[in-house]
Amino acid sequence: MSIKFTCDDKATLVAYLYGEIDAATRQAVDDHLAQCAACASEVTALGETRSGLGLWAPPDVELDFQIVKKSELPPSNVLRPARWWKDVPAWAQAAAAVLVVAAGLSIANLQVTSGPNGLSVRTGWMSQQPVAAALSEPFDGAAVEQRVERALVSLEQQLRTEIRSVNAETTGTAPRGTADEATVRRVQQLLAEAEQRNQRQLAARFVELTRDLNLQRRADLMNVKRVVNSFAGAYDERLMRQSQMINNVIRVSSTPQ
């Protein structure tokens, strides 16, 4: 079986250049290159490009890191507690911890109380307990009665004074009856005008409502008339068809056989 190579087979041409084809295909490509100058020049150009790429080497760049083996890593510096803390005895460390806790409790204002309801613990600012004021003088019932009596007398006098002042104002305003009557008449006039205005507005609203009802009634009547006319037309058409059918039957039956 002979293998034929064509100019448009670029994949086979590249494989020929890299030596990735069998002997039969290579022979077919060699035969084609001997006859086709275009393919031969293309293979020559590809070969020169490959040679140039083979001579290229990456530039030397100084990197900021270095890859080393794990076994070659230097020992890490682990932070250790200070040696002076190790040299302190255990009882001294416990005493220092107790002092720190006590200082925290004093800052938090901790209060622990024990009672019949059990143990209670409170923290934060404590409210000051009100201190009962001591009596400056012993209790005297007679003195209290005298104070109450004086207060009642003073209140009675104040009430009498206010009543007299109110009576005087009422007496002084008695001649103003004419002005009060004029005010009453003015109020009645305003009420009458407001009532008339409301009646006019109500009448206008009633007229508007009546007009809207008449318009709606006319529209409904027109709709009903249109529906009735459509039914009447359909009924007339049905009667006409039935009449035609009867005439046809009569005509057929009257035709001699």
User: Could you tell me if residue 234 is inside a domain?
Assistant: yes
Tokens of 69: 């083996």
Distance CA 255, CA 9 (A): 93
User: Could you tell me if residue 42 is inside a domain?
Assistant: yes
- Type of residue at 213: L
Residues composing the chain = 257
Burial class (CB in 10 A: 0-12, 13-18, 19+), 5: buried
> What are residue 112's phi and psi, to 5 degrees?
-115, 125
Looking at the structure of the chain, the number of domains it has is 3
User: Could you tell me if residue 76 is inside a domain?
Assistant: no
In the predicted model, what is the mean pLDDT of the chain? 72
pLDDT of residue 91: 55
Residue 120: in which H helix or E strand, if any? Answer: strand 118-122
User: Could you tell me if residue 21 is inside a domain?
Assistant: yes
User: Could you tell me if residue 230 is inside a domain?
Assistant: yes
pLDDT of residue 110: 53
On the question of pLDDT at 156 being above 50, the answer is: yes
96-106, pLDDT tens digit by residue?
665 555 555 55
Domain of 224, in residue numbers: 202-241
User: Could you tell me if residue 2 is inside a domain?
Assistant: no
User: Could you tell me if residue 65 is inside a domain?
Assistant: no
pLDDT of residue 134: 42
pLDDT of residue 239: 83
Q: Taking the CB of residue 61, how many other CB atoms lie within 10 A of it?
A: 5
State the Rg of the chain over Cα.
62
* Beta carbons of 134 and 151 less than 8 angstroms apart: no
Lowest mean pLDDT among 65-69, 138-142, 161-165: 138-142
pLDDT of residue 194: 85
10-55, pLDDT tens digit by residue?
888 888 888 888 888 888 888 888 888 888 888 888 888 877 777 7
Lowest mean pLDDT among 121-130, 157-166, 172-181, 184-193: 121-130
Distance CA 224, CA 216 (A): 12
Closest by alpha carbon to 41, among 18, 13, 20, 5?
13
pTM over 0.85: no
170-220, pLDDT tens digit by residue?
555 545 566 678 888 888 888 888 888 888 888 888 888 888 888 998 999
Last-in-domain residue among 173, 190, 225: 173
Closest by alpha carbon to 17, among 36, 42, 37, 34?
42
Distance CA 50, CA 44 (A): 10
Q: Which residues in 211-227 are b (16+ Cβ under 10 Å) and which e?
A: eeeeeeeeeeeeeeeee
DSSP annotation of 77 reads -
User: Could you tell me if residue 226 is inside a domain?
Assistant: yes
On the question of pLDDT at 136 being above 50, the answer is: no
